[in-house]
Structure 1
Amino acid sequence: MDTARLLALVEAGKEPLRTFLIAHSNNAERGFFLKSAQRLLPPARRADLSVDDFIVIVPAFTVSELTAAFQIGFLIFLPFLIIDLVVANILLALGMMMMSPTTVSLPFKLLLFVLIDGWAKLVHGLVLTYG
């Protein structure tokens, strides 16, 4: 593939990618990265910088996706934390202080994840962030 054809393909795919990134990034993040870029770039580049430039929307999209991923991870973590606390309390009530609660709670966590169809919920949560 020659360079001219590659550049033509990049130019053809640039606008659909820009539209996708803008649609799935947070306005506050785009504003933050625009202000940061205006502060960090030399004065010659500041004049033609806009909120739709890739230097602004790519990091804004990345931070928006990381935020959604951490929210999903936190929602998955909460039931596992509750299982850990319950198992630890039961083991202490039975006088088994030397037994590791993690060893006992891991099968319960796996069982819960399988019973609630965790992989499907995880994938649905990720896919629905693009809806």
Structure 2
Amino acid sequence: MKNDATDLLRPMVEARLAQQFAARLHGAEQNITSEQSERLKALRLMAVAQVKRAPAASAIAQGPTLALTGPFHWKSWLFRVSAVLPVILLVAGLLVLQDYQQERFVRATADIDTALLLGDLPPTAYADPGFARFLKLER
């Protein structure tokens, strides 16, 4: 939760901290030996050389270059439709698949019922436990 009082004090606290940090660095600078100064100079030159090579290897994000713009902007109707369209197609595909499976099941059940009713045995024979044992032994 933000507080208006902390938002007003923040710049003053940051400025005071920056002044204290600068004062300590200036004080530490007075105590540097010539050897340390030479080492810092060499490190500074190495850092500058790396920075000169770095722009070719890294991409810098400037403004809206990485944002979606044009016809694919997130607020455009085309982007919204293209985001919802796969979900709609998935649901429609699942409904068609369910209807197909249900139709297949009904056809298979109808084929079994037709075979039972048109067969030589009465349907009560299939419910007899002795007949089930007979079928198992035949195989």
Report the TM-score when normalising by structure 1. 0.29
- Say which structure, 1 or 2, has more relative contact order (CA 8 Å, 6+ apart): 1
From the CA coordinates, give the structure whose radius of gyration is larger: 2
Report the TM-score when normalising by structure 2. 0.28
